[in-house]
Amino acid sequence: MWLCFGLVEVWLAWGALARPSVAQIATELGACAVAGLVWGRLAPAGVARSFALPAVVAVAVSALLLGPRAWVTGFVFAVGVAALAGVTLRVVEERLAPGPLAGAVLAALAAVVVRYQVLQVADVADARAQLLTELTEPWPRTPTPASDGPPVVLISVDTLRWDHAVEMVSWQRVAQAGAGWPRAMATSSWTLPSMASVVTGLPAQSHGAGAWPGGRYTALPEDVPVLAEQLADQGYATAAFLTNPFLSRGMGFDRGVDLFLQHHERAAHRLLFTGRPWGAHAWQSEVVVDRALAWLAGAPKRGFFLWVHVVDPHLPYQHAPAGNPGAAWRSADIRAGLLFTPPQREAIREGYANEVRHVDGQLGRLLDALEARGVLEDGVVAFVADHGEELWDHGGVEHGHSHHGEVVDVAVAIAAPGLQARGPEGVVSLADVAPTLQAAAGLAPGGHDLREPVPIGRIATAVGNKYDRIDLSARQGDVRLIRRGDGTSMAYDLRVDPGEQAPLEEAPEALEVALDGVVIRSQEGAAGVNVEGLRALGYLD
C-alpha cells in the first residue's frame, strides 16, 4: 500500500517542470517500501492495521508538512475514508476484494489528494482544474509532426536590459547567425502585454492583454491568433517551458502548445519523505534549460516549435555570490523605494549583472544543442526580452511603472534563412517578432517581416504599466516621447541624451499624433493569475 502511494506520487511529480532526480525517486520509493514493512510488522491487529489507515496517515503527514492551507483537504479526506472504510469498503473487502487491494486503491487516491494539497499551497489559479489536467495529461508526449517546415525556437529572457543583453555571448551568437537590433522597443513596460505582442505580432493596445484600471488582469482574447496555434495548425509539434506566472494557461499562452510546462502551474511536488526536488529552484534557468534539452533530444528534426522563457534577472536574485549585500534585500524592500546608500545600490546592480551572466551561460547550453542540430544554420531562432529594468537610472527601481529606455527598450536577435545584418533602419518592435517567425516558417506574416528593412521613419509604440497608471510612449528614430497617465509628457533626443536626462522643449508632432491615435482594446472580466507566483517575484508580501 505504501509503495503504491509512492509510485503514484512520483508519477504525478514527474509531470512538473522541476522533476525529482533519479536518486530522489529511488530514495522516496525505498522509504515507502520501508514504511510498508514497518507498518505490516509493528502495527497492532485490528483497526490499526486497517487497509484505510496508510492512506489517511500519508495525507495527514502531508498536511502537517505543507501547513494550514492543506489541513481542510486532509481532514475532509480522512473523514471520507473513515466513512467509506466503515461502510462501503468493508463490504467490498469481504465480498469482492481483499483488504490489501482496497488499501492500494486508497493509497493511490491519497497520492492524488496530496498532489491537490501541494497545488493548493502553491496558489495556482485553479487547483482543481490543474489537478484534472495533470491526471489526464501527466506526461504529454511529443507528437510526430505533419510539417516539414523549419524548426522555430523562441528564447525570451525576463527583465533583461538592452545594454546588458548586447554583452551576452548567447545574444551575440544569435545576432551573428542572422541579425540583431540592440535597441528595439518593447510594447509595454511589463511582461504580460509585451510577451502577448511577441506571440501575436500585435501592439499592446490591439491585443488587449495586460493590467488596466480597477486592479484586474486581462488575458489574450480568443479571437487573437497566437504563433504556436498557427504553427500547430500547419502540423508543427510544439512545446513551451515558462517561468513567469503571467505566461499562463489562464492568460491564453498555452494555445496551440502540445507540452506546456509553466512552473507556477505545474508546481514542483513535495514528495512525502524526501521533500522538494533536490537541486536548483524550479524557476531558475538551469532547470528550464534542462527540460528544454530533454525535450529537444526526442524532438523531430524539423517541424517543431520550442519556446523557452527564463526569469532569473527578475527580482529576487538567486545567484549572487556569497558576501554580496545586494542579495540580502527583499524584493518588496527594493520595490518599496527604501533609501539605499550608493554602495548598497551598486551591490544590487551587481546582483542583477550576476543573474544576467548566469542566464548567459545556461542559454549557451541551449544554443550548443541547437547548433549541433543545425537549427542556428537552417532553422529560425529568436532571442528577445519582454522589457528591461530600471536600476535608479531615473531615481527609481524595477519596471512596470515608467517608459524610459532602460525599461521599454530591448535587444532583439533573430537567426533565419535570408536574414542578414543591415545598415541603419527604423525602430524595431517586439510586435515584429511573430510576423518574422511566421514568414520564415512559410506562413503569411501578420505584420512586418524583419527580413525586410524597417522604414527609417517608422514609429513604434508602447502602452501600459503594471502599476498605478497607463503610460504611453512612442519612438521614431532616436527621439522618444513619453506621455504619462497623469497628463504630463516629455520627449528626448537619444543621439545627444541617451540616458534621457534632459527633456526637449517641444515634442515632435508626428509622435504626438501617434499617441493621440492609440486606442486600447477593452475587455470584460478578469483572468486568474497565480498568487504564489506573484509573491515569489516580490509583487506581493
Extents of the domains making up the chain = 2-121, 152-470+520-536
Residue reference for cell 532616436 = 478
The top-level CATH class assigned to 152-470+520-536 is: alpha beta
Distance from C-alpha of 202 to C-alpha of 188, rounded to nearest angstrom: 12
Distance from C-alpha of 168 to C-alpha of 174, rounded to nearest angstrom: 10
Q: Are 89 and 41 in contact (CB under 8 A)?
A: no
Determine the pLDDT at residue 212. 60
Q: Is the pLDDT assigned to residue 164 strictly greater than 70?
A: yes
Render pLDDT for 203-254 as a digit per residue (tens, 0 to 9).
999 998 886 655 578 889 999 999 999 999 999 999 999 998 889 888 899 9
Determine the pLDDT at residue 348. 85
Render pLDDT for 306-338 as a digit per residue (tens, 0 to 9).
999 999 998 888 776 655 544 545 566 666 655
Q: How confident is the model at residue 31 (pLDDT cuts 50, 70, 90)?
A: very high
| Overall residue count recorded for the chain in this entry | 541
Determine the pLDDT at residue 489. 93
Q: Are 463 and 193 in contact (CB under 8 A)?
A: yes
Whole-model pTM: value is 0.88
- Max CA distance (Å), the chain: 90
Full DSSP string of 166-205: TT-HHHHHHHHHSEEEEEEE-SSSSHHHHHHHHHH---HH
Cα-Cα-Cα-Cα dihedral sign, residues 98, 99, 105, 108: negative
Find residue 472's DSSP bridge partners: 463, 483
Determine the pLDDT at residue 463. 92
Looking at mean pLDDT, say which of 30-44, 396-410, 461-475 comes out highest. 396-410
What is the arithmetic mean of pLDDT over 488-506? 94
Distance from C-alpha of 212 to C-alpha of 467, rounded to nearest angstrom: 9
Render pLDDT for 292-310 as a digit per residue (tens, 0 to 9).
999 999 898 999 999 999 9
Measured in whole angstroms, the distance separating CA 19 from the mean position of its chain's CA atoms is 16
C-alpha cell read off for 73: 483537504
Distance from C-alpha of 337 to C-alpha of 341, rounded to nearest angstrom: 12
Distance from C-alpha of 359 to C-alpha of 362, rounded to nearest angstrom: 5
Q: Is the pLDDT assigned to residue 141 strictly greater than 80?
A: no
Residue 361 neighbours by CB under 8 Å, 6+ apart: none
Q: Is the pLDDT assigned to residue 456 strictly greater than 70?
A: yes
Determine the pLDDT at residue 401. 83
Render pLDDT for 188-208 as a digit per residue (tens, 0 to 9).
999 999 999 999 999 999 998
Residue 311 neighbours by CB under 8 Å, 6+ apart: 158, 159, 243, 244, 283, 285, 537
Distance from C-alpha of 238 to C-alpha of 307, rounded to nearest angstrom: 8
What is the arithmetic mean of pLDDT over 148-167? 97
Q: Given the DSSP bridges, would you call strands 489-493 and 409-415 parallel, antiparallel or unpaired? A: unpaired
Render pLDDT for 339-391 as a digit per residue (tens, 0 to 9).
677 888 888 888 899 999 999 999 999 999 999 999 999 999 999 999 999 99
Determine the pLDDT at residue 526. 58
